[in-house]
Structure 1
Amino acid sequence: MAADHTDTSFHVTHETGETGDTLLVGLSQFGLAGLTAVDYLTTQLDLEETGHITAEALPSITPFTNGVPRHHTRLYSRADLDITVLVGELFVPVGAADPFSRAILEWAEGNAVDEIAVLAGIPMAHGPADHRTFYVATEDYREARLDGADVDPMGMGFLDGVNASLVERGLDTDLGVGVFVTPAHGQTPDAEAALRLLSTIRRVHDLEFDTGPLEQFASEVRQHYAQLSERLEAAEAHERPDDRMFM
């Protein structure tokens, strides 16, 4: 039986008015590839924490490093950079995806965010030739970002959870939404999958950063992310996003 998340709510606290037009999102999903990628971005782009999201009526976590705690879902930005990065270490069950997405979308609308890009790993049967990034994106995002970007569309399938909620809003409004996905393996974090996502977002959003230290970065956070992965695997199957896709 699916868990009841009707009382679950999320609240965004943002400590500065500078957000930029673009929100980049990485969450605690399969392989933690998207989460690893955006966490790495905050370091490489020298971003500062400018806000966070809290959850009500949902089992929570409080991550910490060297005894210093932090919020599980955080917003990062920089005054001279036209993006905000959302780093989500909290696993959001499918049943809580809609209120979580609504909180992000209401914040985005209130801060003049024009587009959202989500980075994610997906569980799918694949061979070495499929170690690349694919997209599922609304028409306005495709026109603005993907013309000539050399990123392949995902052939067919369906999105679930937070990714589906964000894209659905993009279909009905002028908010551009792109979900970038790549096959990810069970080991945590999947540094190669994160690297593919980072290389893609660097081209698509014209960002400048070095991907060279990613392997070392992944090694440093492997133990922490392994614990997150255990929580993700322990979740009931109906609580996890499906994101079923086919070539």
Structure 2
Amino acid sequence: MSVADTFRIDTTEHKPIGSTLLVGQANPGMAGVTAVDHLVRHLDATLIGHVAPNDLPAIAPFEDGVPRHHGRLFTHTGADMTILIEELFVPVGAGRGYVDALLDWIEPSAVDEITVLHGVPFPHGPEEHDVFSVATPAYRDRRLADSSLSPLRGGLLDGIVGELVTRSLDETVPETGVLITPTHLPGPDIDAALRLIDALEGLYDLDVDETDLRTFGDQLKQYYEQLASRMESRGAGGSDVSSEYPDDRMFM
């Protein structure tokens, strides 16, 4: 099987695709995927299809006992936007095949701009809890000219995001911009997701109710504080904390 055949997109609803493709994928900290998941829950979005891997193991996220596809496509006609939520951690080596499938799907459409919401656990100080941008020149001129988002000083983008940006530089895909914010592990980093949503609202004149997400973030912080307190108490009592608790507490 060729790299181009590693993913496929199955569409169930034949609805117009907006001129902007918004992408949020699973990365350490889960900021991007958390942000776009909140968007489709609180905007007038319609599920139109899903992304499926042909030669990678799939995952089946579920909520209240109901499973769903890990990669889902929604249209939001009010903002002339199509939203991609990808909950599968796509390996860096599979990024090319994923982007091939995505670009084949949007080729006959009116998509002329791709925006990626991307959280990265890079070293940062308290004053750097902000959203930064990495964008091709045409995207900057069109979307960021009047924005207060600062360009990220240096680094690299790989996987799906790197493929999209590189191909946009080669002018083989629509103009691409990446909104990047630092994340804290293990995640989900709700504060980072909220920063991405706030930045997106400013760029696309969206109005998103963030109440539920902020409440969830407060509950998550309280949970981790209580968990850390219990771990410290056990450690003070002489027990081996590391043998009782995994390092990654994401699913605890």
* TM-score of the superposed pair, with normalisation by structure 2: 0.82
Hey, what does 1:10 align to over in structure 2? 7
Stretches of structure 1 that go unaligned for 5 or more consecutive residues are 224-229, 234-247
1:205 has 2:204 as partner? yes
Change (3 A) 1:121 1:128: same
CA distance in 1, matches of 2:60, 2:195: 29
RMSD between aligned residues? 2.5
Q: What is the Cα deviation at residue 219 of structure 1?
A: 7.1
Change (3 A) 1:87 1:99: same
Instruction: State the identity %.
Output: 43
Name segments (4+ residues, structure 1) moved above 6 Å: 219-223
Hey, what does 2:54 align to over in structure 1? 56
Q: How does 1:22-171 map to 2 (within 5 A)?
A: 22-171=20-169
Q: What is the Cα deviation at residue 158 of structure 1?
A: 1.2
Stretches of structure 2 that go unaligned for 5 or more consecutive residues are 224-247
Deviations 1:155-183 (A, max 9, x none): 11211111100001111226110011100
CA distance in 1, matches of 2:56, 2:108: 25
Change (3 A) 1:7 1:179: closer
How many positions carry a matched residue from both structures? 223
| Secondary structure, aligned partner of 1:120 | strand
**Considering only CA atoms, is the larger Rg found in Structure 1 or Structure 2?**
2
Hey, what does 2:240 align to over in structure 1? none
CA distance in 1, matches of 2:167, 2:179: 17
**Does structure 1 conserve the Cα–Cα contact (< 8 Å) formed by 2:191 and 2:217?**
no
CA distance in 2, matches of 1:37, 1:157: 23
| Secondary structure, aligned partner of 2:107 | helix
**Does structure 2 conserve the Cα–Cα contact (< 8 Å) formed by 1:138 and 1:167?**
yes
Q: What is the Cα deviation at residue 6 of structure 1?
A: 5.0
Hey, what does 1:226 align to over in structure 2? none
* TM-score of the superposed pair, with normalisation by structure 1: 0.83
Q: How does 1:201-240 map to 2 (within 5 A)?
A: 201-218=200-217
Hey, what does 1:188 align to over in structure 2? 187
Which structure is higher in RCO with an 8 Å CA cutoff and minimum separation 6?
A: 1
CA distance in 1, matches of 2:79, 2:43: 9
Once the two structures are overlaid, the 10-residue window that deviates more, 171-180 or 144-153, is 171-180
